[in-house]
Amino acid sequence: MSCENEYSGDFIPEAIIGERVETFVMEAFDPCDCGFCEVDFEEIQKAGKWTVLFFYPADFTFVCPTELADLASKHADLEKLGCEVISVSTDTKFVHLAWKTDERLLQDVKFKMAADPTGEVADFFGVYDPATGMALRGTFIINPDGILVSSEVNFYNVGRNADELLRKVEANVYLKDHPAEACPAKWTPGAKTLTPSEKLVGKVYEQLND
Residue ranges in the chain modelled with pLDDT below 70: 1-13
Is position 3 within any domain? Answer: no
Q: Are residues 55 and 101 in the same domain?
A: yes
End-to-end CA distance of the chain: 54
Q: Are residues 173 and 209 in the same domain?
A: no
Q: Which of 3, 32, 37, 64 is catalytic?
A: 64
Q: Tell me if the pTM is above 0.85.
A: yes
Q: Are residues 167 and 194 in the same domain?
A: no
Would you call 3 a catalytic residue per the annotation? no
**Domain hosting residue 54, numbered range:** 25-177
Q: Are residues 124 and 206 in the same domain?
A: no
Q: Are residues 69 and 143 in the same domain?
A: yes
Is position 30 within any domain? Answer: yes
